[in-house]
Structure 1
Amino acid sequence: MNTRLPLLSIITVVYNNVKGLQHTFQTIHNQTGKDFEWIIIDGNSTDGTKEWIQALTLPYLRYTSEKDKGIYDAMNKGLSIASGSYVWFMNSGDGIYHPETIDALMKISGHPDVLYGETMLVNTAGEQLGIRSEQTTRVLPEHLTARSMIKGMVVCHQSFIVKKAITTPYNLNYRYSADIDWVISCLERADSVYNCKQIIASYLVGGFSIQHQQGGWKERWAIYVVHYGLFLTACAHLFIGLRYILKNKIFNRKH
């Protein structure tokens, strides 16, 4: 019997979003590289999501369906049962960009602690809106470090793949921005970070952090103070605020 563990654990959190989950499934199932497991953490959905998952018969699928304490609690559940060397969070509605993405990523020499790449933004109709670095103020750095994150979430969570060995659970004290804290913490512990220099994920705009932006700003301040200190945090938020105002002025002039 083959008991070899997968190289990659893809973790998908879902609640009452069967359509989005089906899209995510297609992008995973179509991968040419098969050295992965797919872990679905369902929050006890009532819209048919749970039944759809239960009907799947896939050798690479593992799932749970139970109530949780929120998105980051669900993500922690997935992280705790992941058996792959790498973990990749791909929530319902998001997707892997190309059928050969996993195969290409897992063949990168040296097995870096972190792999990251670009993100294609898509809307609910499935239309591509453009590359995240070009459509938003969050430009992906050529060389991503923990210090890079002081400019904001410059790397999309869905385009950030990390060795499980250097991860810790998401901090549930943060309701809206625990993903920023988690990414910074992973980068602080990473010895090697690799820029894939390609689009590796599609991200459905209007996600959890966007829906709770105001609460997220308050939490981000606290997170930055922990990681960067008060002075750098104040400077960073002044920069982010001015950038946001400038972006809105340019947008309003165009429209």
Structure 2
Amino acid sequence: MYFSKVHNLKISVITVSYNAQSTIEQCIQSVIGQDYPHIEYIIIDGNSSDGTIPILEKYKKHIHVFVSEPDKGIYDAMNKGIALASGDVIGTLNADDFFADSHTLTVLSDAFKNNVTDIVYGDLDYVKPDGSTFRKWRSGPYKKGMFNLGWMPPHPAFYCRKEAFNRLGNYSLEYGTAADYELMLRFIHLNQLPVYYLASVLVKMSTGGVSNSSINNRVKALIFDMRAMYRNNVLFPPIALFLKPLRKLGQFF
């Protein structure tokens, strides 16, 4: 179902947190500082034991749905958020990331309203603790078959209609740290949902990430990537797997 320009598109933003006391406040402030009024903010906490919960309590009037309980990892928590979301469109904002500016969700909403699309994705900047940018992810417009060449959009800048999750499923825990990649493969490559590229930086992403934290985790991530490719009909997965990291080299220049 597509919405007219007069529809007040409701956007559900899901933040997953666990012991994120050093970053969660900046994340929350970037959400509540948006100039777009139709936001549902959902925080799924993994039963944090540091100072995260008191910070969340501080902003409870801005949080529409809050859950704090043990989970099976970040994608299990995201699935909980999706199940609780009532928005027309759903996206995630990790606890150590933040929106690029106060207009991000307004621009996203306009993209959904003005284009026949189920998915809108944009660009991403990687930032150091001091806020300086050291890597820029500019994925560009999507063309059919690009996943066969190792392409993918940045997941933190990926927003999708809730109806698509209802129809095609949520994040599969079978793919470990590649669950977000598998979902985007499934939605865009396999099922060919209409997509729109928003040529704008939507999210600032802090350095790090579970899949890159060690050589062992990196190897596991490659195996999960390969499984996701075979599952979603990528042509010649070994070639796509080889090209996928090579595409990222340009993000540093």
* TM-score bucket of the superposed structures, by smaller chain: 0.7 to 0.9
Q: CA deviation at 1:42?
A: 0.3
SS of 1:31's partner is coil
* Large movers: runs of 4+ above 3 Å: 150-153, 188-191, 238-241
Secondary structure of the residue aligned to 1:173 is helix
- 1:204-226: per-residue Cα shift (whole Å, max 9, x none)? 12122322322110111111111
Aligned with residue 234 of structure 1, among 231, 234, 238: 238
Aligned counterparts of 1:153 and 1:208: Cα–Cα separation in 2? 20
Deviation at 1:189, TM superposition (A): 3.5
Q: Which runs of 5+ in 1 are unaligned?
A: 134-139
Output one character per residue of 1:216-238: Cα deviation in whole Å (capped at 9) or x when no partner.
10111111111125x61122234
Shift of 1:131: 1.7
Give the aligned CA root-mean-square deviation in angstroms.
2.6
3-state secondary structure, aligned to 2:28: helix
Q: Which moved more, 1:59-68 or 1:94-103?
A: 59-68
* CA deviation profile, 1:145-172 (whole Å, cap 9, x unmatched): 5x32334463111111111111212111
Query: Residue 177 in 1 paired to residue 178 in 2?
Result: yes
Q: Residues 124 and 202 of structure 2 are in contact (CA less than 8 Å); yes or no, is this contact kept in structure 1?
A: yes
2:221 maps to 1:216 = yes
Which among 225, 228, 232 is matched to residue 230 of structure 2? 225
> Is 2:18 the partner of 1:15?
yes
1:120 deviates by: 1.1
Match in the other structure for 2:206? 204
- Mapping of 1:20-169 within 5 angstroms? 20-108=23-111, 109-110=114-115, 112-133=117-138, 140-143=139-142, 145=144, 147-152=145-150, 154-167=152-165, 168-169=169-170
**Partner Cα distance (1:239, 1:51) in 2:** 44
Q: Distance in 1 between matches of 2:157 and 2:239?
A: 27
Cross-structure match for 2:4 = none
Using the size of structure 2 for normalisation, the TM-score is 0.84
Aligned-pair distance for 1:114?
A: 0.4
CA distance in 2, matches of 1:17, 1:152: 32
Tell me the amino acid that sits aligned with residue 140 of structure 2: P
Identity of counterpart residues, as a percentage?
A: 26
- Corresponding residue pairs, total: 237
Gaps of 5+ in 2: 1-6
